[in-house]
Amino acid sequence: MTVPHLFRPLALRGLQVRNRVALPPMCQYSAADGLAGDWHLVHLGKFAQGGFGIVFVEATAVEARGRITHGDLGIWCDAQVPALARIAGFLAANGAVPAIQLAHAGRKASMQRPWQGNGPMTAADQEGGERIWPVVAASAEPLEPGWLVPEALDPAGLATVREAWRTATLRAAEAGFGIAEVHSAHGYLLHSFLSPLSNRRNDAYGGDRGGRMRFPLEVVETVRAAWPADRPLFVRISAVDGIDGGWSLEDSVAYAHELKARGVDVVDCSSGGLAGSATAGRNAPRGLGFQVPYAERIRADVGIMTMAVGLVLDAAQAEAIVAAGQADIVAIGREAMNDPNWAVHAARALGLPDGGFAEWPQQYGWWLERRERVLERIRSNSPPVA
Which residue(s) pair with 238 in the sheet?
A: 270
Q: Which of 29, 188, 205, 255 is catalytic?
A: 188
Q: Which of 42, 102, 51 is nearest to 72 (CA)?
A: 102
Q: Where are the alpha helices (DSSP H) in 274-333?
A: 292-302, 315-323
Long-range contacts, stretch 247-251, CB < 8 angstroms, 24+ apart: 247/191, 247/194, 247/195, 247/196, 247/197, 247/274, 249/294, 249/297, 251/194, 251/209
Other CB atoms within 10 A of residue 175 CB = 22
In our burial notation (b when 16+ CB lie closer than 10 A, e otherwise), range 138-158 reads bbebbbeeebbebebbeeeeb
In our burial notation (b when 16+ CB lie closer than 10 A, e otherwise), range 292-316 reads bebbbbbbeebebbbbbbbebeebe
Other CB atoms within 10 A of residue 3 CB = 14
Long-range contacts, stretch 208-211, CB < 8 angstroms, 24+ apart: 209/251, 209/254
Three-class secondary structure of residue 297 per DSSP: helix
CB 5 within 8 A of CB 319: yes
Task: Identify the helix (H) or strand (E) that includes residue 353.
Answer: none
The angle that helices 315-323 and 342-349 make with each other, rounded to 10 degrees, is: 80
Is 188 in the active site? yes
Instruction: List, as one string, the DSSP characters of 85-137.
Output: HHHHHHHHHTTPEEEEEEE--GGG-SBPPGGGTSSB--HHHHHTT------EE
Which residue(s) pair with 182 in the sheet?
A: 102, 235
Separation CA 21–CA 57 (nearest Å): 15
Separation CA 121–CA 351 (nearest Å): 50
Residues with a known catalytic role: 188
